[in-house]
Amino acid sequence: MHAGHQSFGLDLLVVAGLVLLAGVAVRGWVRRRASRPLPGWRLAAWLAGLGLVWLATASPLAGLDRALLTAHMLKHLVLMTLAAPLLLVSEPIALLSSGVGRDEVRVPAALATSGRTLTHPVLCWLAGTAIVLAWHVPAAMSLAMHSATGHAAQSASFLVGGLLFWWPVVQPWPSRPHWPAWIVPLYLLLATLPCDALSAFLAFCGRPVYAAALSTAPPEQLLADQERAGALMWVWVTLVYLGPAVWQVLRLLGPTVPAGGVHPATPFPHRPRLW
């Protein structure tokens, strides 16, 4: 009962935080319309990303991940591969800065250096991959499923890992690319490999891996659920990671533009000047 009340309290906290972030972003988008407007689709992306975070962590459906590995897998995929990139393409720093009344943003040099180090593609790739693999260790899964705090920490780390992973791909303001654009397809392709290994293990190992963590159902039901979860991850990651990789390759292979134009491989070539 105590765990249930704690989980309910955390859900209310998540909802309050998401509503606050939505309100600040709407205010920021409205304030920018008179001077440096952002397209409406960026605000829509931010709100959609927040909506997916709510759906995966605090909605009535969110609790299913405590009983079904397939639901758990769906939650982790939604947070890391849908909500996170949607939040980044919205230009969140611009939206939120305007929303709190900061019309001009000057990032201190030390903070800019730290942020650039933190968002280096190697660190972002390792963070996104390590978070997925670590939480699928049976002991870590049991901790997350039997503790409201552990469950919240797992959800938060999935979202943070997704934001870090997609940062070098989306490159929201004020980021600058660390590497040439042709590295992005390789970055995404390599990210599928550990996910494929994990999903293949879950689908073909032939035994329930998380029996103690997720359910007291019969072993054959647990195994069937685990095989569905592995197949879901395999197909989902392949489509979500390789789709942008192919799109970037096609942009790189596209025709060059006249002098003074923007190369097609430049991320968000029609991005307005934000500040």
Q: How far is 232 from 241, CA to CA, in rounded Å?
A: 14
In the predicted structure, residue 61 carries a pLDDT above the cut 90: no
- Per-residue pLDDT tens digits for 20-34: 999 999 999 999 887
| Residue 261 φ/ψ region, left for φ over 0, alpha for ψ in the -120 to 50 degree band, beta for the rest | beta
Domain ranges of the chain: 2-100+117-252
Q: How far is CA 93 from CA 54, 156, 258, in A?
A: 20, 19, 32
- How would residue 109 be classed by pLDDT, with cut points 50, 70 and 90? low
7: pLDDT strictly greater than 70: no
* DSSP assigned state of 81: I
Q: What is the pLDDT of residues 241-257, one digit of tens each?
A: 999 999 889 988 876 54
User: pLDDT higher for 9 or 33?
Assistant: 33
Percent of the chain at pLDDT above 90? 60
pLDDT tens sequence across 170-196? 999 888 888 888 899 999 999 999 999
Q: How confident is the model at residue 67 (pLDDT cuts 50, 70, 90)?
A: confident
Q: Of the spans 7-11, 66-70, 257-261, which averages the highest pLDDT? A: 66-70
- Say if CB 178 and CB 120 are below 8 A apart: yes
Tokens of 36: 């440096």
Whether 132 contacts 161, CB under 8 Å: yes
- Contact predicate 159/84, CB 8 Å: yes
Is residue 11 pLDDT above 90, yes or no?
no
Backbone torsions φ then ψ of 269, nearest 5 degrees: -65, -20
- Asked whether the bond before 174 is cis by omega within 30 degrees of 0, the reply is yes
Are 265 and 249 within 8 A, CB to CB? no
